[in-house]
Amino acid sequence: MYTKKVMKHFQKPKNYGEMKDADAIGTAGNERCGDILKIYLKIKNNKIQKISFETFGCPAAISASDVLCELCKGKTLKQALNITAKDISEYLGDLPKLKQHCSVLGKEALKKAIEDYKKN
């Protein structure tokens, strides 16, 4: 059902875990299937220095979260906001149609985290 790449990021995600000293946190929930994603950011000079996630969800949601973190590393906030659900899906080598919505979730959480950072 899933590509090898999805399974790799799902089984061995690199970027998971709570970040105690995060500068910004963003949470997004997908009501369609109940996934919940939390993004933690450490920001320096407008750049994402560290990023991690916590996800409640299916393999697609977890792997998409991990990939989003991977793609965000070292990016400026503006560059990070430009990452699309399609970028994540393509990086994973295509998600099943039914699971495409899982890759949208990460972007929402990231956007919220950056908005949260800008407010403070």
Interacting residues with another protein (CB under 8 A): 2, 7, 10-11, 13, 16-18, 27, 32-38, 54-62, 98
Annotated active-site residue 33? The verdict is: yes
The amino acid that residue 94 corresponds to is D
Q: Judged by CB, which is closer to another protein: 43, or 55?
A: 55
Query: Considering Cα of 93, then 99, then 104, then 105, what sign does the dihedral take?
Result: negative
Q: Judged by CB, which is closer to another protein: 32, or 118?
A: 32
Annotated active-site residue 69? The verdict is: no
Instruction: Find residue 36's DSSP bridge partners.
Output: 29, 56
Alpha helices by DSSP H, the chain? 4-11, 59-72, 77-81, 85-91, 102-119
Q: Judged by CB, which is closer to another protein: 36, or 47?
A: 36
List active site positions: 33, 102
